[in-house]
């Protein structure tokens, strides 16, 4: 392959793209970044609806920590006497792993921005009690991911690693076309868009995907941009954790996060899968592996029912899609996780 053109490694039938043309995408980067930033803030707002952010905020305030989400009400936080936990959309834009422990200070650890660093921690003495990974859907911001992990940690009495998938241009496209309706379609469009960008606009494909780039064994296009092996960035993140951290034996997912778990498990060896417990909320996935599944779906959860593809849950409750305990008839994460252990 010449140094004046780029060809996708995934498909030799794709046309050759002159490297000089990639400069056009570089010029558009300053226009794309504000769009991604706006979408990240919008997703943070969504997470306040679907996740238990009120309970998280109250619990941390009681422990002397205030949460900064970048909202105007936090504009004078410098004068706040409490320690500040930064969960702003701009702080974790490219993906991270955040370890949450509702029982033990510092309660919410500094985010791991590289997979290798997280693997070293999780396989070392400091991470000896870590055996659970959680992943959210809908907004999937750091704020929502930590709130969901907090509920799981409080129920289990142990630390939980929250996956915050990076948010890039490939995520914007399916969200704009239909949001979170049709999770399977969302992942298919996201994966197709990421593959196209990786081949023809690698600079744009890398934006918001630094965590993905740091994953050992990550599949790359010939341009050096990441592509998805398991449907989405979140699926690839969960799959990599399962392969590299043997102590992780419990996966908890909500909404689109449940589908990320389903995709991540598909290529896990059967002998490993049978040691894994899966708990899902708001989306029933196909039980295709030897893992142990405990799945919850609300009777009034139209979004979850739509995206469960006809799969029957193990438990039905009179609840809707949200896990925010401040909203009546929300899905109880604490009860579900306790039952699934």
The per-residue pLDDT for range 225-265, each reduced to its tens digit, is 766 666 677 788 898 899 999 999 999 999 889 988 998 89
Percent of the chain with pLDDT over 90: 39
Residue 73's pLDDT band (cuts 50, 70, 90): low
The answer to which of 26-30, 99-103, 247-251, 336-340 has the lowest mean pLDDT is 26-30
Residue 186's pLDDT band, with cuts at 50, 70 and 90, is low
Nearest Cα residue to 305 out of 316, 292, 290: 316
pLDDT of 122-148, one tens digit each? 999 999 999 999 999 876 688 889 999
Task: Tell me the average pLDDT of the chain.
Answer: 79
Cα–Cα distance, 318 to 328 (Å, whole number): 11
**What pLDDT digit, counting tens, does each position of 5-48 carry?**
444 434 444 434 444 444 544 545 666 666 666 677 777 777 88
Which region among 170-179, 204-213, 322-331 has the lowest average model confidence (pLDDT)? Answer: 170-179
Enumerate residues 6+ apart whose C-beta is below 8 A from 68: 74, 77, 84, 85, 86, 87, 88
User: Which of 7-21, 71-85, 104-118, 199-213 has the weakest average pLDDT?
Assistant: 7-21
Q: Which of 65-79, 94-108, 260-274 has the highest mean pLDDT?
A: 94-108
- State CA 219 to chain mean position distance: 18
Residues 6 or more apart in contact with residue 257 via CB below 8 angstroms: 134, 135, 136, 137, 140, 163, 234, 283
Distance (Å, rounded) from C-alpha 25 to C-alpha 168?
14
Give the number of other CB atoms < 10 A from CB of residue 274: 12
**What pLDDT, on a 0 to 100 scale, did the predictor assign at position 249?**
95
What is the tens place of the pLDDT at every residue in 280-293?
Answer: 999 999 998 999 99
Under 8 Å CB-to-CB from 338, ≥6 apart: which residues? 155, 156
Residue 310 scores a pLDDT above 70: yes
Distance CA 319, CA 298 (A): 4
Count of helices and strands (H, E) across the chain: 13, 11
Q: What is the pLDDT of residue 78?
A: 46
**What Rg value do the Cα atoms of the chain yield, rounded?**
20
β partners of residue 67: 85
Q: What's the half-sphere exposure (Cβ side, CA atoms, 13 Å) at 256?
A: 30
Helices 22-50 and 169-178 meet at what angle, rounded to 10? Answer: 60
- The residue among 107, 83, 88, 110 whose CA lies nearest residue 97 is 110
Rounded-to-integer distance, Cα 4 and Cα 330, Å: 56
Is 11 strand, coil or helix? coil
Strands 315-317 and 292-298 turn out to be: parallel
Which of residues 140 and 149 earns the better pLDDT score? 149
């Amino acid at each position: 392959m010449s140094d004046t053109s780029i060809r996708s490694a995934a498909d030799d039938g794709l046309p050759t793209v002159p490297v000089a043309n990639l400069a056009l995408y570089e010029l558009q980067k300053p226009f794309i970044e504000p769009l991604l930033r706006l979408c990240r803030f919008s997703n943070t707002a969504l997470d306040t609806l679907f996740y238990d952010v009120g309970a998280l905020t109250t619990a941390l305030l009681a422990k002397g920590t205030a949460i900064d989400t970048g909202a105007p009400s936090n504009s004078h936080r410098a004068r706040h006497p409490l320690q500040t936990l930064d969960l702003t959309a701009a702080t974790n834009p490219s993906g991270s792993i955040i370890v949450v422990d509702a029982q033990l200070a510092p309660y919410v650890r500094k985010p791991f921005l590289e997979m290798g660093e997280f693997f070293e921690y999780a396989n070392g003495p400091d991470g000896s009690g870590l055996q659970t990974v959680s992943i959210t859907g809908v907004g999937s911001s750091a704020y929502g991911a930590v709130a969901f992990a907090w509920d799981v940690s409080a129920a289990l009495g142990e630390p939980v690693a929250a996956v915050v998938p990076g948010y890039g241009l490939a995520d914007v496209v399916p969200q704009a076309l239909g949001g979170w309706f049709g999770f399977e379609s969302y992942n298919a469009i996201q994966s197709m868009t990421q593959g196209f960008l990786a081949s023809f606009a690698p600079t744009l494909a890398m934006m918001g995907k630094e965590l993905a780039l740091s994953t050992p064994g990550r599949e790359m296009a010939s341009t050096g941009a990441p592509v998805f092996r398991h449907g989405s960035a979140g699926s690839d993140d969960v799959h990599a954790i399962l392969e590299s951290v043997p102590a992780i034996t419990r996966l908890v997912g909500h909404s689109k996060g449940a589908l990320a778990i389903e995709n991540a498990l598909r290529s896990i060896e059967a002998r490993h899968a049978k040691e894994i417990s899966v708990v899902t909320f708001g989306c029933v996935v196909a039980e295709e592996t030897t893992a142990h599944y405990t799945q919850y779906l609300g009777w009034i959860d139209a979004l979850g029912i739509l995206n469960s593809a006809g799969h029957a849950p193990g438990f039905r409750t009179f609840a809707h899609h949200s896990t925010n305990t401040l909203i009546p008839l929300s899905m109880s994460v604490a009860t579900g996780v306790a039952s699934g252990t």
